[in-house]
Amino acid sequence: AQSVTQLGSHVSVSEGALVLLRCNYSSSVPPYLFWYVQYPNQGLQLLLKYTTGATLVKGINGFEAEFKKSETSFHLTKPSAHMSDAAEYFCAVSEGNAGNMLTFGGGTRLMVKP
Amino acid sequence: DVKVTQSSRYLVKRTGEKVFLECVQDMDHENMFWYRQDPGLGLRLIYFSYDVKMKEKGDIPEGYSVSREKKERFSLILESASTNQTSMYLCASSPGVSGTDEQFFGPGTRLTVL
């Protein structure tokens, strides 16, 4: 069975500061990993995903994440936070089954202070 | 752009009522999913469907059923609503071509059961 842990349900940063949202997973097979973002009163949208190949993945809005197999981690970063980044972020893992099922972490709410 | 729509943004029902939540996608996707979202628990899969009239239980199917009579439409049914089913419900779809497919989400329905 696969699982996802997001350390920190709330993270607060100042505008212009580094954003680091942590995600650790467990999976019995090489995983596919996703980060989704949810803005207030909206559904989720994909930020980035790792499938195979380069372990540093770039996504939309300046976000990137690095797959580290030895640490079973897929942390999300952005060099400089913007007010518009305030949202809830979800890490998810898939084992690549035909049903494309995802297992989600508990989410991290990012707050950006002016 | 893929569009996933849900019939209501907000819904208030009474305990014991039968509740229908409707989801429609316009991109001919094979897979459709229903999740519930609760603070700190992330998204949990209720049911998914990989073809018309086909359904599979997710992690928390108790108290719910689903129907998929047409490819574009996936309904979630609460046979007898209870207060512990007060939650945000999210529908998603994915192409079903690959296990690495992105899921596309609707805006969600916030259901309150009194």
CB–CB contact B102 A49 (8 Å): yes
Region B98-112 average pLDDT: 90
The pLDDT assigned to A27 comes to 80
B4 contact A CB<8A:
yes
What was the pLDDT predicted at A30? 76
State yes or no: pLDDT of B2 exceeds 70: no
Query: What confidence score (pLDDT) does residue A66 get?
Result: 96
**Tokens standing for residue B89:** 């419900």
Better-scored residue on pLDDT, B37 or A30: B37
A70 touches chain B (CB under 8 A): no
In this predicted structure, what is the pLDDT of residue A31? 84
Verify whether the Cβ–Cβ distance A106 to B40 is below 8 Å: yes
CA distance A43 to A59: 18
Mean predicted confidence (pLDDT) in B100-109: 91
Q: Which of B5, B35, B43 to mutate to test the interface with A (most CBs of A within 10 A)?
A: B43
Q: Which of A4, A43, A49 sits opposite B90 (nearest CB)?
A: A43
Check CB contact of B51 with chain A, cutoff 8 Å: no
Contact: A42, B40; criterion CB under 8 Å: no
B99 in contact with chain A, both atoms CB, cutoff 8 A = yes
Letter for the amino acid at B36?
Answer: R
B60 or A42, which is more confident? B60
Work out the mean pLDDT of chain A and round it to a whole number.
92
List CB contacts (< 8 A) between A109 and chain B.
Answer: none
Of B33, B99, B103, Cβ closest to residue A97:
B99
Please say if the pLDDT value at position B22 is more than 70: yes
Which has the higher per-residue pLDDT, A101 or B48?
Answer: B48
Given this model, what pLDDT does residue B19 score? 97
Bigger pLDDT: A27 or B21?
Answer: B21
Residues 11-30 of chain A whose Cβ lies under 8 A from any Cβ of chain B: none
Question: Helix, strand, coil proportions of chain A in percent (round to 5)?
Answer: 10, 50, 40
Say if the Cβ atoms of B100 and A94 lie within 8 Å: yes
**Which residues of chain A fall below pLDDT 50?**
none
Rounded mean pLDDT of chain B? 93
- The set of residues, in sequence order, having a beta carbon less than 8 Å from that of B62 and lying 6+ positions away, is none
Q: Which residue in this structure is represented by tokens 């209870």?
A: B82
- pLDDT tens digits, residue range B62-77? 999 999 999 999 999 9
Cβ-based neighbour number of residue B114 at 10 Å = 10
Going from the C-alpha of A52 to that of each of A48, A56, A103, B11, B64, the distances in angstroms are: 13, 10, 18, 41, 36
Within an 8 Å CB–CB cutoff, is residue B106 touching chain A?
Answer: yes
Cα Rg, chain A, nearest whole Å: 14
Overall size of chain B counted in residues: 114
Structure tokens at A35: 């980060």
**Residue in this structure with the two tokens 């497919």, named with its chain if needed:** B101
